[in-house]
Amino acid sequence: MIIKTNKLNLWYGAFQALIDVDLAIERNRITALIGPSGCGKSTLLRVFNRMNDLIEGVRMSGSVNFEGKEILDHEIDLITLRKRIGMVFQRPNPFPLSVFENVVYGLRVHGEKNKQVLAEAAEKSLSAVLLFDELKDKLSMNALGLSLEQQQRLCIARLLSVTPEVLLMDEPCSALDPFATMKIEELMIELKKQYTIVIVTHNMQQAARISDDCGYLLLGELVEFADTKKIFTTPADKRTEDYITGRFG
Amino acid sequence: MKRAFEFLIERAIFLSGIASIIFVVLIFFFLLKEGLALFQTESLTGFLFGKNWYPISDPPRFGILPLFLGSLLVTLGAIVIAVPLGLASAIYVAEVAPPKLRDILKSGIELLAAFPSIVLGFIGIVTLAPFLKSVFHLSSGLTALAGSIMLAFMAMPTIVSIIEDAIVSVPKNYREGSLALGATHWQTIYRVVLPAASSGILAAVMLGIGRVIGETMAVLMITGNAAVLPTSILQPVRTLTATIAAEMGEAVSGSEHYYALFAIGIVLFIISFVINLLADLFLHRKAAR
Ligand SMILES: Nc1ncnc2c1ncn2[C@@H]1O[C@H](COP(=O)(O)OP(=O)(O)OP(=O)(O)O)[C@@H](O)[C@H]1O
Ligand SMILES: [Mg+2]
């Protein structure tokens, strides 16, 4: 297990968005977080790389352990944490820079200057997301000119270049068409050999297709967390069953 | 009855709508007519590249090169001062200052824009000029540099608020993407936010230049008013605008001198027009994205 939360609570001001969440994320697996809109999926995901810090008035209690380190610790080095736990966003958000500069962005901000190293890392990361052959002659074009699917792949490549251990993905396919979605799903299954993936999705079929573990969140509570097969065939909680059978949400 | 009333209203609105265009066209043709008259007696190259501006000597000389270079020097100086300062304060206001301070700073900047330029020029004469005089051991503090500093102050509000707008309108997800990769706040600003805001920043610079080039009263007061070819920024100079303001009163209507001042007006018009056009291009490039 790579990340483990214990009685995790989170408040936005007076509103409690996460309530006593206990979950354990296993290495080299895809963990899906599902649940109706506003139940706290994104919030939970953003705890792991402390992106909620950007929002004013957020308080947290409990503990989140990552490889023996306490993520909620005020002293923790956010730069290292975010290097090890990367994030892919709902809307592809390549920077308005060239494809190449996008991919090596993380390396650059972490001080890498050697051209050779940067070029190799760019090739490796773009290859990992199956974009290298497509784009190897277009590395200097503006990334905003790519298709949405390519942009999302590029965002994943951008992440891989800093060699993270965990990939957090917040509805990474919701801006994509079904075909592009399928391609990205194939990519995720490929990536889990090397990385641990946590994905938030609205799409239950997607969770069923690609995840190994699955957690169902409702109103800030983790109602059930188990093997994906079990969640989708024999859920332990009535509320989970209602949700996956479509009687709710 | 009602129909007639609506008809009248519509006509009135139409007329006031085209009135502004008509006025612009009239002004433009007037400027052209009076300005181009100069070239019956003076050659275009002599006007643009002549090194001497002696409008009332005999024979008069109408070379605007010293004035043009004076404008250029004062403007460049102002830009060199105002752009880095404006960029820095826009970054501070948009990205660093806590919300309360941000509001205070923004109203402060607007207040600076509200000062009539003559007041700034006046304050400049009594404070800035003596200061420059003693710092650089000059015989007079009324120099191109003094003009540049005053103009920089006048251009700052425009520059800061446009850059600030450009920075604030950079999509949040660029910032998030950068921070989530482990970049620091500062790295995020200069590697992602500023490039993303670059067309707005260029437009701000252009509009700042536009403001500075068209400025008259303050530079008239503070640059020392000497129509000679400038060799240093610590020298008195005379700008194109200041020349018109200073000499229009004494130029006899219909004289060569009078036409020459209008010809300067044409030059200024062309410069402002080009700058506004460029600023517009940059702003539109941003909107097209
Ligand atoms: N910045 C914020 N300030 C206050 N409340 C917030 C903030 N962000 C989220 N919330 C609230 O916290 C709850 C959980 O939000 P969150 O974005 O985590 O939900 P989600 O499960 O990701 O929803 P969706 O499926 O719509 O993305 C919601 O009720 C939301 O209104
Ligand atoms: Mg969400």
DSSP states of A44-92: HHHHHTTGGGGSTTEEEEEEEEETTEETT-TTS-HHHHHHHEEEE-SS-
The pLDDT of residue B248 is above 60: yes
The pLDDT of residue A249 is above 70: no
pLDDT value at position B287? 52
Question: Inter-chain contact B173–A54, Cβ cutoff 8 Å?
Answer: no
What is B115-126 written as a DSSP string? S-HHHHHHHIII
Across residues A158-178, what is the average pLDDT?
Answer: 92
Query: Which residues fall within 8 angstroms of residue B21, CB to CB, at 6 or more apart?
Result: none
Question: What pLDDT band is residue A248 in, cutting at 50, 70 and 90?
Answer: low
Domains in chain A: boundaries:
3-93+166-244
Stated as kind and residue range, the H or E segment containing A101 is: helix A99-103
Q: Is B94 helix (H, G, I), strand (E, B) or coil?
A: helix
pLDDT in tens, A40-63: 999 999 999 999 988 989 999 999
Domain A3-93+166-244 has CATH 3.40.50.300: yes
What is the C-alpha to C-alpha distance for residues A161 and A200, in angstroms, rounded to an integer? Answer: 22
Tokens of A146: 């790519």
The pLDDT of residue B288 is above 70: no
The residue type at B177: G
pLDDT value at position B289? 47
Residues A193 and A122: beta-carbon distance below 8 Å:
no
Across residues B245-249, what is the average pLDDT?
Answer: 90
Percent of chain B whose predicted confidence (pLDDT) is above 90: 61
What is the C-alpha to C-alpha distance for residues A145 and A138, in angstroms, rounded to an integer? Answer: 11
Q: Cα–Cα distances in Å, from A24 out to A65, A198, A201, B103, B131? A: 9, 11, 18, 45, 69
Q: Which residues place a Cβ less than 5 A from the ion ligand 2?
A: A 42
pLDDT value at position B47? 93
pLDDT value at position B286? 55
The pLDDT of residue A119 is above 60: yes
Tokens of A84: 């090890």
Using a CB cutoff of 8 Å and minimum separation of 24, what contacts does A11-16 make?
A: A11/A58, A11/A59, A11/A60, A12/A55, A12/A57, A12/A58, A13/A57, A16/A220
Residues A21 and A5: beta-carbon distance below 8 Å:
yes
Architecture of domain B9-288: Orthogonal Bundle (1.10)
Ligand 1, CB cutoff 6 Å, lining residues:
A 12, 15, 17, 35, 37-43, 55, 202
Question: Inter-chain contact A93–B177, Cβ cutoff 8 Å?
Answer: yes
ipTM of the complex, rounded to two decimals: 0.90
What is the C-alpha to C-alpha distance for residues B226 and B218, in angstroms, rounded to an integer? Answer: 15
Of residues A49, A80, A91, nearest to B180 (C-beta):
A49
The pLDDT of residue A183 is above 90: no
Nearest atom in ligand 1 to the alpha carbon of residue A43 is 18
The pLDDT of residue A180 is above 90: no
pLDDT in tens, B48-98: 999 999 988 888 899 999 999 999 999 999 999 999 999 999 999 999 999
Nearest atom in ligand 1 to the alpha carbon of residue A40 is 18
Least confident of A104-118, B239-253, B274-288: B274-288
Q: Give the residue on B whose Cα is nearest the Cα of A50.
A: B180
State the Rg of chain B over Cα: 23
The pLDDT of residue B252 is above 70: yes
Looking at ligand 1, which residue's alpha carbon is closest to its atom 5? A12
Q: Of A122, A134, A127, which is closest to residue A97 (Cα–Cα)?
A: A122
pLDDT value at position B110? 86
